[in-house]
Chain A
Amino acid sequence: MPELSTPYAARDHARSMHGARIDAMPTLPVSDAKNLPSDIERSALIWDETLAAGEYTSRVLTRGTRLRMINLQGDACAQFLVHNADRPFERLNVADTVKVQWNAYLGEGKMLLSDMGRVLMSITRDTCGTHDTFSGPSTEWSNAAKYGHGENYSPQPNARDRFLLSLLKFGLGKKDIPASLNFFKGVKIAEDGAMSFIDRASQPGNVLELRAEMNVLVSITNCPHVLDPRPKYTATPLRVIAYRGPLTTPDDPIRNAGPEAQRAFENVDDYFLR
């Protein structure tokens, strides 16, 4: 232990950490991002952060922003919530998302719908193809049953409490946690309704990219899936990158995927009219 008997010594000790780098951290300034995917313009970068197992992050993204999640080593689980950043009592509605699009499995070209008939974000790129709309977040008790502990202060934090911390920082609370999504981990539904966890749903480098169609608050945590049967708390790093992009154009393929999508985008256009 260092000898830190004066404020000056303590200050010097603290400052000696300046410039430290670890694998899982935010990049500031974001223009210093390393190993940037070649198709992303450095000048358009807004956010670059890597989450190790159990870590979480949240951020407001303005409409048009692209949010890319990269499953660096193939075993991340991106548990995900999205709210309307301007009026957070409008939020992701998983039931409407699957019902309106007539399919329970998410993938490229699908929309994430709010409870007010609008598209919050759309999936512009997906090289994984396996995601989960049914299971929701891991919980303190589901983690405790498998790993012995699940609290935020434990080494095995759970996604629900990560979401709560994320939302509390924006003045929100428990009431603001609806059913959530899991990206890069999937569940298969049998004809009789039985749910089975899909092992090895993703590969290293798999990408999911979302386009913000409204101003959104995204909450992301990289925690093992609630149905992941492994006794060891396992989630490999998840990289999160956001960059500026144009607003969705009238000829956009997701917007024109069907009448439901057309009307979801029309409702967004209508919302932003001024």
Chain B
Amino acid sequence: MTVVSISAPKRVVELTVDGTPVRVTEGSTILDACKRAGIETPTLCYGDTLTPVNVCRVCVVELEGARTLVPSCSRKVEDGMVVHTDSERVRTSRRLVLELLASSVDLSLAEDAQRYAAEYEARPERFGADAATVAQDVKIDNDLYVRDYSKCILCYRCVEACGVDHQNTFAIHVAGRGFGAHISTELDVPLPESACVYCGNCIAVCPTGALMFKSEYDLRQAGLWDESQQTEVRTVCPYCGVGCNLELHVQDGEIVKVTSPDDHDVTRGNLCVKGRFGFQHVQNR
């Protein structure tokens, strides 16, 4: 059977980004238009495979006629929009967002955030050594992955991946309010007592290293984690007939982590517990 698309062709919308006319299809976002124009825009909570929640506010741009800055990741383009991505106002807000995050969260494994912080000359130290942080103990309550919420920027990506965007398991959600808001199972119970199915799709979307394979965590604790010594092997998961692609991260002849390509049209970066964590038999010697 041939599938014929019956939707009308999409209208083209023209807007101006940093003085350059850009044409994108209707329904695109300002971020899409920036990409089309070759303008790099910092993003943290945005994920290619996730519904934009526009909470980090690092992607804000100036839209002429708007009272406040607007989040480029979710604001849809309209004809005639005039957008500035590098004005003093935009740079100040982006710098402040990065200073606020860097002063309250451990960004040591958040490569993108570190790069943006340098680019925007963020000075988180201006808030002093006594500035409130989200520092806390690492949660190690199962053999597969750890949760270090000292590194959590509350981007909601794990919640989305666990929920309707990917897994539909709903084991975690944002709980609490304000600076006390945090990612949590019901009543903060340990993962083995929660609905978690250990698909690890939350780990796949975490941009800061707050969620991490136990194998990676252990190697890092021992000072042995070394990405320069790792190779990535692309293969197909052997457990069922879906054919999920696996990327095996191998260090010293051992699988230390498993990911799946985001751009794969079947899995979009997702796996189940078997593909994600079921690799021990490979290294049973």
Q: Do A and B come from one complex?
A: no
